Structure 1
Amino acid sequence: MPETASRKGLGPGGYLEREGSLARVPHAFRPGVAAAREQLLDVFGARLHSAYLYGSIPRGTARVGRSDLDLLVALRNEPSDADRRDARAFGEAVDKEFPQIDGVGTLLFSRARLLSELERYDLGWFVACLCTPLLGDDLAEHLPRYRPDSLLARETNGDLFLHLPRWRERIAAAEDSDEARRPLVRFMSRHLVRTGLTLVMPRWQGWTSDLREMADVFGAYYPARAARMRAAAVHGYEPVGDLAVLHTYVDDLGPWLAEEYARVHGVKAPRPGVR
Structure 2
Amino acid sequence: MERRGLDADGHFEREGSLGRIQPAFAALVAAARARTAEAYGPRLHSAYLYGSLPRGTGRPGRSDLDLLLALHREPCAEDRDTAEVLGRGLDEDFPEIDGAGILLFGKDRLLSERERYDLGWFLACLCTPLLGDDLAEHLPRYRPDGLLARETNGDLARLPPGWRERFEAASEPAEYRRLSRGFARHLVRTGFTLVMPRWGGWTSDLTESAEVFGRYYPGRAAQMRAAAAVALAPVADPEVVRAYVEDLGPWLAAEYTARHGTKAPR
**Matched residues in 1 for 2:223 and 2:165: separation?**
22
Which residue of the partner structure matches residue 153 of structure 1?
149
**Matched residues in 2 for 1:144 and 1:59: separation?**
22
1:224 equivalent to 2:219? Answer yes
1:75 maps to a residue whose letter is: L
Which residue of the partner structure matches residue 208 of structure 2?
213
- The two structures have a TM-score, normalised by structure 1, of 0.96
User: Within 5 A, what are the aligned runs for 1:1-275?
Assistant: 4-5=1-2, 7-174=3-170, 176-271=171-266
**Structure 1 SS opposite 2:34:** helix
**Matched residues in 1 for 2:80 and 2:134: separation?**
22
**Matched residues in 2 for 1:192 and 1:94: separation?**
28
Contact 1:8 / 1:205 at 8 angstroms: preserved in 2?
no
**Structure 2 SS opposite 1:267:** coil
**Structure 2 SS opposite 1:147:** coil
Offset from partner CA, 1:89-139 (integer Å, 9 cap, x none): 011111111111211110000001100101000000000000000000001
**Matched residues in 2 for 1:96 and 1:253: separation?**
35
**Matched residues in 1 for 2:178 and 2:133: separation?**
34
Offset from partner CA, 1:190-239 (integer Å, 9 cap, x none): 00000000000000001111111000000000000000000000000001
- The answer for unaligned runs of 5 or more in structure 1 is none
Per the TM alignment, residue 160 of structure 1 is displaced from its structure 2 partner at its CA by 0.4
2:130 maps to a residue whose letter is: L
**Matched residues in 1 for 2:90 and 2:253: separation?**
37
Identical amino acids, percent of aligned pairs: 65
**Matched residues in 2 for 1:75 and 1:60: separation?**
27
Per the TM alignment, residue 24 of structure 1 is displaced from its structure 2 partner at its CA by 0.2
**Matched residues in 1 for 2:214 and 2:95: separation?**
37
**Structure 2 SS opposite 1:132:** strand
Q: What is the aligned-residue RMSD (CA, Å)?
A: 0.7
**Matched residues in 2 for 1:103 and 1:88: separation?**
11
Per the TM alignment, residue 177 of structure 1 is displaced from its structure 2 partner at its CA by 2.3
**Matched residues in 1 for 2:250 and 2:125: separation?**
28
**Matched residues in 2 for 1:103 and 1:256: separation?**
31
Per the TM alignment, residue 178 of structure 1 is displaced from its structure 2 partner at its CA by 1.8
- The answer for unaligned runs of 5 or more in structure 2 is none
1:93 maps to a residue whose letter is: G
**Matched residues in 2 for 1:85 and 1:169: separation?**
26
Tell me how many residue pairs correspond in the alignment: 266
**Matched residues in 1 for 2:265 and 2:96: separation?**
39
**Structure 2 SS opposite 1:12:** coil
